[in-house]
Amino acid sequence: MQQSHISIIGAGLGGLCLAQGLRSAGISFDVYERDTAAASRDQGYRIRIDAEGQAALSRCLPANLHELFRQSCGGSAGGVRFLDCDLQRIQGRPAGSWRIPDAGGDAPVPPRDLSANRQTLREILLCGIEDRVHFGKALRRFDVVGKNQVRIQFDDGEETTSALLVGADGVNSAVRAQLAPAAEPVDTGAACIYGKTAATAALRESIGTDLWAGTSVVFADGFALILDPMLFRQPLPALAARLAPACRLEPVDDYLYWAFIGPRASLRLAAGELPDQSQLATLVGAIARRWHPRLRTLFAHGDARTLTVLPVRSSPPEIAAWQSGPVTLLGDAIHSMSPAGGVGANTALRDAAALASALASGAGFHEAVSGYEVAMRAWARAAITASNDGARRLFGASATS
C-alpha cells in the first residue's frame, strides 16, 4: 500500500472532482465505479452549477479543463419566469437558494449560474485521469485495519488496500450502508419526472420563442414543472479540440430540458412504486392534457428514450456522525436532498474541493478528514434546509416526512 494512496468509490461528479483535485495535488488515487462504462446509463440532462460549484471546479480542475467546462455550458442569458399552466405570468415562489437576477442594489453580484449537460461535465472530469478510473467494480465491503489502513473488497473478488476510502457512490451508497447505516435517506413521497425535447427549428416556432429565452417555472395543482433551454454556442467536440485536445466530448444538440416535481399523488403515481419508461410518455400526456397547447406540443415531441422517473429521497438536516478514521463520505452518499433547491450537486462539488484541499494541506490524513467532516456537516445542513424550503415553495409540502 502506498502511504498516501486514496480509493474513491463512485465516479459521479463528486468523486471525479475529488480525483481531479488529488491529481493536482500529486496525491495517488484510484476511482472505482460499479457501472460498466461512463455512458452506460443516463446521468441526467441539465445540471445548474452555482457560484459554490464553479469555485469548487476551479480549485480542482486544470485551467484548460475549467475553461472547457465554462464554455461547454448551455442555457440562455434570460432570467426566471413564473407561469401557470396557461402560460400566464404569476408571482411565483422562488426558493431561497435560487439566484434570481436583480437589476438594482449595490451588493456584489456572484457569478451567474451555469447550465451544464451532466454527461458532458462528467466527460470533462474524466479527462486526464482515465487510467485511474476503473469501471465494473462494485464494492462488496471494507475493513479498517489498524488506524491508518482500510482493506477494500469488490464483488469480482479483487481486493486493494488504501490509506483512505472515500464513499462518493450516491444515494444508494454501499460505503454509507456499512460506515453509517443510520444515515440512510428517507423517501419523501415526492418524485421527479424528467426528459428533453430536441430544439428543432419547427419546434421552436411552434412553441414560441419565449420558452427558449430563459428558465420557466410552471406552477400546477400541488406540483411544478421546470423548463430550461440548453443552447450551445458551438459544437462540443470542436470546443474540446481547441481548449483541451486530449479531452473528447460527445456532440450534444440543442434541447429543452423539462422536469416535473411534486408529491407522487399529484403526478398520478401510485404510492410505493414507479412506472417503467414505456409508460412515462402516456403519463406526461395525461398530466398536461388540460395545459396550454404549446406545452402539450413540447411534451408530445419529447424524446421518449430520455424519459426518467426518480423518487425524491432526502437526508435529515442533522448529518449522522461516525467515528472519524480512514473512511469518509461525500455528496449524495451522506447528504442527499430534494432537487427543488438546485444545490445537491453543488454541495457534492464543494465537498470534493474541500476534502482535496484538506488532504493536500500537509496535515495527517486523520486530521484532514476529521476537519473536513466537521465543516461538511455544517454546509450540508444548510443545503438540505434550502432544498426543503425549495420543495415547500414549489409544491407546498415539506421535502421530508
22-34 per-position pLDDT tens digit: 999 999 999 999 9
Contact 22, 6 (CB under 8 A): yes
CA-CA distance, 159 to 211, in Å (whole number)?
52
Per the listing, cell 450534444 goes with 252
The residues, ordered by sequence, that sit 6+ positions from 59 with a Cβ below 8 Å of its Cβ are 21, 353, 356, 357
| Closest residue by Cα to residue 138 from 2, 11, 315, 27 | 11
Bridging pattern class, strands 80-83 and 149-154 = unpaired
Residue 374, domain member (yes or no): yes
Residue 400, domain member (yes or no): no
**Across the beta sheet with 6-9, what order do the strands follow?**
133-135, 29-33, 6-9, 164-167, 327-329
Q: Enter the C-alpha cell of residue 204.
A: 421552436
| Per-residue pLDDT, 102 | 45
* Tens-level pLDDT at each residue, the chain (401 residues): 345 899 999 999 999 999 999 999 999 999 999 999 888 776 668 899 999 999 999 999 999 999 999 999 997 767 889 999 999 999 866 655 555 544 344 445 567 889 999 999 999 999 999 999 999 999 999 999 987 899 999 999 999 999 999 999 999 999 999 999 999 999 999 999 999 999 999 898 889 888 988 899 999 989 999 999 999 989 999 999 999 999 999 999 999 999 999 999 999 998 878 898 889 999 999 999 999 999 999 999 999 988 999 999 999 999 989 999 999 999 999 999 999 888 999 999 999 999 999 999 988 888 999 999 999 999 999 999 999 988 888 876 444 43
| Per-residue pLDDT, 349 | 98
- Residue 349 sits in a domain of what CATH number? 3.50.50.60
Residue 206, domain member (yes or no): yes
CA-CA distance, 28 to 41, in Å (whole number)?
28
Residue 1, domain member (yes or no): no
| Per-residue pLDDT, 38 | 84
Residue 83, domain member (yes or no): yes
How many domains does the chain fold into?
Answer: 1
| Per-residue pLDDT, 391 | 86
pLDDT tens per residue across span 186-213: 999 999 999 999 999 989 888 988 898 8
Residue 401, domain member (yes or no): no
Residue 123, domain member (yes or no): yes
Domain of 88, in residue numbers: 6-395
* Chain centroid to CA 128: 21
Structure pTM?
Answer: 0.93
Residue 173, domain member (yes or no): yes
Q: Environment class of residue 205 by beta-carbon count within 10 Å: exposed (0-12), middle (13-18) or buried (19+)?
A: exposed
| Per-residue pLDDT, 354 | 98
| Per-residue pLDDT, 95 | 58
